[in-house]
Structures are given as structure tokens and as C-alpha cells.
Chains A and B, each alone.
Chain A
């Protein structure tokens, strides 16, 4: 009798497993619904969207919308999205789309891509937002400076605390770990950058340009590069353009496509159940290095072959 009960129970269990498996396999997997809000129609944003498409879970439905640089358009689109069925996730491409999403969306996960300095847009209270920033990892930047000039111990940074205070605080910690000291000077307007640089000229071995809108006024950048040649202080810039203008080195994100694919990985985590609040935003995984050998000659800096081999562009 007990054998019968035991076998019947086993049979029932097997039947349940089989029926369950059949019913599970016959039900189509739920496709994620994603709204992609693009700040404007620019190539890098389009590349980022393609990168996202290629990396996001297969079967996801992506509805794309270009807000054409118009905040009202973006807001209207999100309002329409909220009033209907909520999407599973919103992809905000570019800083304008993120600004709109931050204001309008509190209860839907938002993943951003191609945003520089996201903490200046996202408040600390936002628990539904993460993403792939365009920022280059601080560790890589400081390590590059040290590798090119091992004697570098003090790195000067001019920054506006309201724009890149978060970045400089992080950099300060990382610099200590790498055995260098950040010599920081805060400014409130681009006009202050001249005096700030002059004030630290005897205290620094290298200069690091951070992606700070206050510092990046054209006249400030020109003064930084002039300062670099005058005092023979190497500059780590943000872009190939700055390197062409005279900076010794430049590190920037490699491609919009890669940033988009990083965002897709974050989105996949969220869609598979991870809490957005537990996922920190990422920095560029692949970076583009530019070296200016003309500047190196003027500064008397020898660029190691290893760096030159690794460089994506060399200005000779």
C-alpha cells in the first residue's frame, strides 16, 4: 500500500513537472518594453542606440523618440508614456533626455547612456536611475599620467565644485591610493581659472583637465595649454581635439556604440530583476588615447613605447 502511495506520488510529481515544463515552454517569454528617448539626432547618440539594441535582451521591444533638443517635446512624450501602459524601462540617451527623465519619471527604471558627469543631473534620492556615463575612469587617467611621467607626484586640478565636485572627491581618494596628491583649486566662473592656475603653478608636476563646463570655456583651455608650455607641465586632456591644440595626452570614451552596449548590460540586469538602486552608473569601458609628440618634445617628456603602441592617435 505504501509502495502504491509512494509510486502514485512520484507519478503525480513527474506529471506535474512535465505539465509545468510544457506549459512554460508553450508560453512565449515576455518581451521587455523599452522606451528610448534621444536628446537629439547626432551620430554618437545613434551609435549608442545601436549599441544598446545589439546588447539588450533579445525580444525586447524598443520604441525610439527623438526630442530634438526640445525639453517640452521630451516631457510630452514621457507624459504620454506614463498615461498609457508603463514601459519596463526607459533608456535616456544624452544629458537632455536624462534631465527630462529625472524630472518626469520616478517609478520606472531609467538607464542612461552618453551622459557626462551624471551626478550633476541625478539627485542622490533618485533610486530608479543608473546608466553608462561618458566619463573616463579616474584610475586610468591618473595611472596614464604616472606612466608617462613617473616623477609626477602632484597633479593640479581646476574645477567648479557645483559641476565636478563629486569627481574630484573620488579622484582625491584614488590619487592617494596611487601614491599621488591632487592639488585642487576650486573656481566659480571661467574667469577665475587664470588666477587659480597661477596660484598653483609651483605646486604641481602635471595638470589634469576635468570635464567641467566652467573650466572648459575656450579662453580657459587656451590659457591652460599656454600655462603647460610656459611651465613645462604636461596636461592630460579630455579629447583628441585638446591634444591637437597642445595637450600632451587625451583620454576619451572610444565610441557611442560601446557606451550603448554598456547601458544594455545594465538594462539586462534590471530587466532580470536586479534593483536599480543597487546598480551604480558605469564609466567608459573602452577609451581612446591620443598622444601629442610635438608637445612631448617641447615639454621634454619621453613617451614610453608601450604608451605609443597603445595610442589610438599620435600627433607628430
Chain B
């Protein structure tokens, strides 16, 4: 009897120790991954202390300053300051407020039960969509770890080519008559400065995504992105008179407006002023915590599976270094999906995201698409993913993309994923021509 007790205890302890060792191994792997991420994230270039304000500060923190002119000219050095500051600041805000993390979906592997056949069915059958969500969850006590790499090379801002942005600065009214004179001794008030900007903005994001099945219907997860952002801007400003003549208005042989050589990069030319700025930063981006609860599953008939997802984006990324948005975002998403014929799963995601820092940036998120298993180990997915900001008056009022992806399950617990996000409309927001993502996923 005692022997039997001891034996069963030893069996239980062997099961326990097997679980423990399994968990120890999982924990060690997770800790190693987090340490690696933190180590990579700790690296930051010293080149750009205030990357976020690269464009605003392109001509210095006080905007465009001109060369003080000798009498009888009025002192002109600060006449374009307000206009240039406003223009550069607006562009800076448009660009930087539109930078954000792309979507990351949680995994949906596990089992459901086929009542008629009396067997569990693997829900990895179609491997799930890449950037959007299915209602089903991972499964109790399952741990899924994913590593993805995403490249964002932005090319358009509100439909304008980032290499050919143009800003026009006007000067203030010198004689105080309320207008910018186009004739007479004050006709130089109609001179303008036209700045042509070339902006090179791209991001490389390595995201570590872990999802754990708390119960068979409840998942919790974390997304830790390591972001490498590169922002470089070149501006070439020129002074023009009201007729478009370079150099601006002349009095005699002298130009009324001239750039301050100390504020321009060489080679210096009095009628034009070039400046370069920017840099690179690497670090932890905004960490996302998420949880999904699958409240309706396998109901039968036409009723789809349904789930609710809550997401908190924490301001862990340094806003000044362009690694994060600087605010906490809260999002809730309703998800519905249904699998037909065990291979085709249409899904819909609708939700609302609150930007606690700036409520005007609140957005409605939606996605509509499907994933389909073409082979037992290969699935494809297609989605229209959109984000609508009803109250926003700047960049990205309504952006919508087509997302196409493929997932391949070459080994039992390994999934390789690749995706490309293609803008359906480049006239809204800060857009890349295409956003590729590749990743690898392991299910413990």
C-alpha cells in the first residue's frame, strides 16, 4: 500500500516535474527573448537627440532667419520667422503623428470539437489571419511566441511625394497697412520663400509577440516592439519675388532679402539656403498588452464565433526619439468569424481606439477579410484593414489597406508567416508603397 502510494506520488511528481521542466524551459526562453529585446532596445544613437522635431528644427528652433541688411533697408532677419515656424511645425506634426505601429494579431491555434464526428479539430487548420483577428483563441495553457520583422518605408504624405514636399513662407507686413504690398517701395513684402523638402522616413520593427491561453476561451498577450527609425530631411529654400524671380525683390543691385549664411549648410548662396537634419534611433517601442475572450463558439447554424478583444498600448517608446506615440491608447474590438468546410474562414473586426493623450486622434478600426487553407500546411489570407479618425483634422483621417498574407506550417509547432500591406488610398495619411512583414511562430 505504502509502496503504491509512493509510486503514485512519484508518478505525480514526475508529471509535475515534467511540467515544471517544460515551464522552466519556456520561461528561460521567454526571459532570454525579453533580455535580447531589452539589450537591443537599450541601444540608441546619439546622433539624434530630438528626432521627433527634425523638420521643425531644420532651420533652427526659431525658424528661418535672414541676414540683417544694412540701412536703408528695414531689418529683415525675422520677417519670415513666424510663417516658416508655422509651416515646418505643421509638416513636422503631420509626419510624426502619423507614425505608429502596424497591426499585430494574436494566434489562434488549438482545438475545437466536432460533435458529429466525435473528434477534436485542430483550429490551426487554416492557420489564421496575420494582421487581423479570428474569434477563436489559442487554447488553455498554450503559449505561442512569435517574432516578426516589419519594414515601413514611407513615401507619401496626404498623397504628396515625401521626396517632393513644398512649403511656401510669406513675410510679415512691414508698413502696417494690413496687406502685403505688390507695388511701391514696400513691394518686397510680396517676396516669398519656397522650401523644397526631401524626407526620408523609414522604420524597421522587430516585434516579439507572446500569447498565453489562460483558459480555452481566454487569451492574454503582449507585443514588445523594438523599433529602428530613421528620419532624414533635406530642405532647399529659395527667395522669390511676386513674379517668381529668384533672389526676390532688388533695390538697386542689392537684394532686400538674403539668407543668413550661418544658418545654411555650405555651399552657401545668398538666394538659396540648404539644410540637412535628422538621424536614427533604436529602442523599445510602445508595448501592447492585449486580452481576447471568445464568448461564443461552435453555436451552429449561421451564427459565427464571437469574441471581444481589449488592448492597451503603453507609452513605453520614447516619443522624442520617435519610438513611441507618447500616450496611452485603449482599444476594444468585436470579432466575429466562422469556418466553412473546415478551410474557409471569413472574419470581421470592428472596434474603437481611444488616444488618451489626444482625443481627436480616436479612431474606428475595422477589418474585413478571410483566411483559407489551401493545403493542410499552407494558408493564405486577404483583408481590407481600415482606420477612420472622425475628429481628426490632420493626417490619416481615413486610411485603408489591402493585406495579403501566407502562412506555412513546415514542422509541427512552427509556422512561418509573410504578409504585405498595400495602401488602397495614398491620399490620406502617411503611407508606404507596401509594408512587408515576415515572421516565425512557435507554439508550446
Q: Do A41 and B11 touch (CB < 8 A)?
A: no
Q: Do B15 and A41 touch (CB < 8 A)?
A: no
A227 at the interface (CB under 8 A from B): no
A87 at the interface (CB under 8 A from B): yes
Interface residues of B in 107-159 (CB under 8 A from A): 110-113, 115-120, 122, 139-142
> B213 — nearest CB in chain A belongs to which residue?
A41
A170 to B5, CA, bound (A): 43
Q: Mark A219-252, 1 if CB is under 8 A from B, else 0.
A: 0000000000000000000111110100000001
Chain B contacts for A238, CB-based, 8 A = 115-116
Interface residues of B in 1-21 (CB under 8 A from A): 1, 3-4, 6-8, 10-12, 14-15
A206 at the interface (CB under 8 A from B): no
A241 to B341, CA, bound (A): 13
- B383 CB to nearest A CB, Å: 26
A41-B110, A117-B118, A240-B300 are known contacts. Are A63 and B140 too (CB-CB below 8 A)? no
A240 to B302, CA, bound (A): 12
Q: Do B120 and A65 touch (CB < 8 A)?
A: no
Q: Do A211 and B116 touch (CB < 8 A)?
A: yes
Interface residues of A in 3-52 (CB under 8 A from B): 30, 33, 35, 39-46
B270 at the interface (CB under 8 A from A): no
B301 at the interface (CB under 8 A from A): yes
Count: A-B pairs, CB below 8 Å: 94
Q: Do A81 and B301 touch (CB < 8 A)?
A: no
Which residue of A35, A85, A211 contacts B117 across the interface (Cβ within 8 Å)? A211
B78 at the interface (CB under 8 A from A): no
A63-B11, A63-B12 are known contacts. Are A30 and B1 too (CB-CB below 8 A)? yes
A46-B216, A65-B15, A85-B6 are known contacts. Are A211 and B118 too (CB-CB below 8 A)? yes
A244 to B141, CA, bound (A): 33
Count of B interface residues, CB-CB < 8 Å: 33
> B10 — nearest CB in chain A belongs to which residue?
A84
- B361 CB to nearest A CB, Å: 40
Q: Do A242 and B139 touch (CB < 8 A)?
A: no
Q: Do B113 and A85 touch (CB < 8 A)?
A: no
- B124 CB to nearest A CB, Å: 10
A116 at the interface (CB under 8 A from B): yes
A134 at the interface (CB under 8 A from B): yes
Chain B contacts for A213, CB-based, 8 A = 117
A197 at the interface (CB under 8 A from B): no
Chain A contacts for B341, CB-based, 8 A = 218
Extra pairs beyond A41-B110, A84-B10, A211-B116 (15, CB < 8 Å): A40-B111, A42-B111, A42-B120, A43-B217, A43-B297, A45-B120, A46-B216, A63-B11, A63-B15, A69-B120, A85-B6, A96-B120, A216-B116, A216-B117, A238-B115
Q: List 18 A-B contacts (CB under 8 A).
A: A39-B120, A40-B120, A41-B141, A41-B142, A42-B113, A61-B12, A63-B8, A69-B122, A77-B15, A80-B14, A81-B11, A85-B4, A85-B8, A87-B11, A96-B119, A115-B118, A241-B300, A252-B115
Which residues in B have some Cβ–Cβ distance to A below 8 Å?
1, 3-4, 6-8, 10-12, 14-15, 110-113, 115-120, 122, 139-142, 216-217, 297, 300-302, 341
Which residues in A have some Cβ–Cβ distance to B below 8 Å?
30, 33, 35, 39-46, 61, 63, 65-66, 69, 77, 80-81, 84-87, 94-96, 114-117, 134, 211, 213, 216, 218, 238-242, 244, 252
- The list of the 5 closest CB pairs from A to B, nearest first, reads A85-B7, A116-B118, A244-B301, A40-B120, A241-B300
